[in-house]
Amino acid sequence: MAKKKFSKNWVHQHINDPFVKMAQQKGYRARAAYKLTEILDTEKLLRKGDVVVDLGATPGSWSQVVRERLLGAGGRVDGRIIALDLLPMEPIAGVEFIQGDFREESVLGQLEEMLGGSKVDLVISDMAPNLSGVGAADSARIQHVCELALEFSMNHLKPDGTLIVKAFHGSGFSQIVQMFKQHFVRVVERKPKASRDKSSETFLVGQRLKSTGIRVFP
């Protein structure tokens, strides 16, 4: 009974959510588009010609936002957008998509072949693990996802590049922030207006790689 009530409350909240309504009007695939929009505006990120990798991209709202901002003359993307996800994604014009696990050599090889030796200006990750409700286990999963995005960025970002990842406040959050600070000159936390008040999600923005050679990965 409680579950049914919870579901009804969620549906009611979702239907009346202003960001859901705006996303539907604008043609975004998810309200999460407005989280990235606010971060890009606040941090003054993304310029024409940039190369962007969207990790955990499905359903594609973050790639939609990036595409919008990179559109040049004639409605063509001025730059590159490569999206990756384990799940399939409906095509987006001008966005190259790889379905697979970027931890696997074959998928990384595919991405590197697409990049053709080019480094990346911006890595964005709205990835979140499946949560079990067990605090310690969930914290470890969240940290692991952030580590994967960070390790990927260490290998593929330009020196002045930026990484945006989704993290969650709670056990292990300070360790994630510390990892970022080891590798980036500037690290900030962002809680966009489109993030629900009850949600503990916080986005970390790391800018400009440090050239210290410090590694947190084996």
Along the 218 residues of the chain, how does pLDDT read in single tens digits? 444 554 655 455 556 677 788 878 788 999 899 999 999 999 999 999 999 999 999 999 999 999 999 998 888 999 999 999 999 999 999 999 999 987 888 998 998 899 998 999 999 999 877 666 655 666 778 888 899 999 999 999 999 999 999 998 887 899 999 999 999 999 999 999 988 777 789 999 999 999 754 454 44
205, β-bridge pairs: 164, 188
Q: Cβ(133)–Cβ(163) under 8 Å?
A: no
> How many residues comprise the chain?
218
What single DSSP character describes residue 86?
S
Q: Binding site for S-adenosyl-L-methionine: residue ranges?
A: 60, 62, 85, 101, 126
Annotated catalytic residues are 166
CA distances from 29 to 57, 120, 191, 212 (A): 11, 25, 21, 40
Among 127, 114, 111, residue whose Cα is nearest residue 62: 127
- 15 close to 84: Cβ distance less than 8 angstroms: no
Q: Which residues contact 143 (CB under 8 A, 6 or more apart)?
A: 172, 175, 176
Per-residue pLDDT of 172-195, as tens digits, reads: 899 999 999 999 999 999 999 988
Domains and CATH numbers, the chain: 31-209 (3.40.50.150)
